[in-house]
Amino acid sequence: MAFRLYEGADHTSVYAKYRSVWTTDITDRVLTYLQEKFPAPYMYDHAIDVGCGSGQFTHLLAPHFKQVTGIDISANQISAAIKGNDKKNITYKVGSGECFSIADQSVELVTCVQAAHWIDMDKFYAEAYRVLKPNGCVALISFTFPEFGAHPQAKLLTKPLGNYYDKLWETSCPAEMINRLKHVYNRYPDEIFACRPPLEDHLRDETMTIVHDMTVEQVVGFASSSSGYVKYVKKYSSSDILETLQKNILKTLGEDATLDTVVRVTFPVFILFGRKPG
Ligand SMILES: C[S@@+](CC[C@H](N)C(=O)[O-])C[C@H]1O[C@@H](n2cnc3c(N)ncnc32)[C@H](O)[C@@H]1O
């Protein structure tokens, strides 16, 4: 079953505002893997970023490739990506993660960031194999539930945030959607997400994190960018679940806390690599 959860213009703009968490450490890790079989100096031709959203990760690839293409099934995500794009070598287009409109053997890298759990992996990997040049790589990248620090009470934020996500899932997400979201929390189990032959050299990297200092306002905004929240507000249009979350966060941090209070948010990252034989 396909899920079309990122279609509304309102949600897309919230997503663009609060989900730009990716850093160059992660692109550097991906390039290190790619360079094992494409030793420097090598000018890469083309990378594609499948399920690119509004370009959160795509733009970080631009300095390393002559051409980068971001593909997403949601027309609204793609218009937000085009609007925010300041890189001449990036093209964004509406398309499917199961059937890429990209020429055979034309790219060195296929990334799929925070999106693989929405895509049919057998079809995705068949397409990745088709479009990759020999020795080209695929990388599924995601982060999972964050840890909080820096503020004396920040560690306790796991509870209100956890309760918020549990409520979204329990009250408004169909079982199939919950199963897919659970794959993220289970860090993309190999039996579903590892690359299929003839792609080879499956490698899992769980060593990296992304760290951001975020205000309480940004943490609540981040929580509102979840696909579960979209489902929830569709069902309960006059819901105050976000106000409740904000109140609980402020209460947890103590009476001096405001929307501008800063906490350190550490997202554990996991990457699943695969390679086309040379
Ligand atoms: C959680 S967002 C990730 C966006 C971005 N890559 C990021 O890291 O923030 C998931 C994206 O996958 C897209 N998506 C879902 N199913 C898809 C499919 N079958 N083919 C292509 N894109 C899909 C959604 O439209 C959405 O933009």
Give the pLDDT score at 17: 80
d(CA 34, CA 256): 48
Q: Which amino acid is at 163?
A: N
How do 200-205 and 209-215 pair as beta strands?
Answer: unpaired
Give the pLDDT score at 16: 77
Out of 7, 19, 27, 73, mutate this one to test ligand 1's pocket (max ligand atoms within 8 Å of CB): namely: 73
pLDDT digits (tens, 9 = 90+) for 198-241: 999 999 999 999 999 999 999 999 999 888 888 888 888 878 89
Give the pLDDT score at 235: 84
Q: Which residues is 215 bridged to in the sheet?
A: 262
Ligand 1 atom nearest the C-alpha of 119 is 19
Q: Which residues of the chain have pLDDT under 70?
A: 1-9
Ligand 1: residues with CB < 6 A are 2, 6, 19, 51-53, 56-57, 72-74, 77, 96-98, 113-115, 118-119
Q: Residue 271 CB: number of other CB atoms within 10 A?
A: 22
Out of 58, 114, 123, mutate this one to test ligand 1's pocket (max ligand atoms within 8 Å of CB): namely: 114
d(CA 47, CA 58): 9
- 174-209 burial, b for 16+ CB within 10 Å, e for fewer? eeebeebbebbeebbeeeebbbeeebeebeebeebb
Domains observed in the chain: 9-275 (3.40.50.150)
Give the pLDDT score at 274: 98
Three-class SS of residue 129?
A: helix
Give the pLDDT score at 7: 61
Give the pLDDT score at 43: 85
Give the pLDDT score at 6: 61
CA distances from 176 to 18, 159, 180, 194, 213 (A): 26, 25, 6, 20, 33
Give the pLDDT score at 5: 63
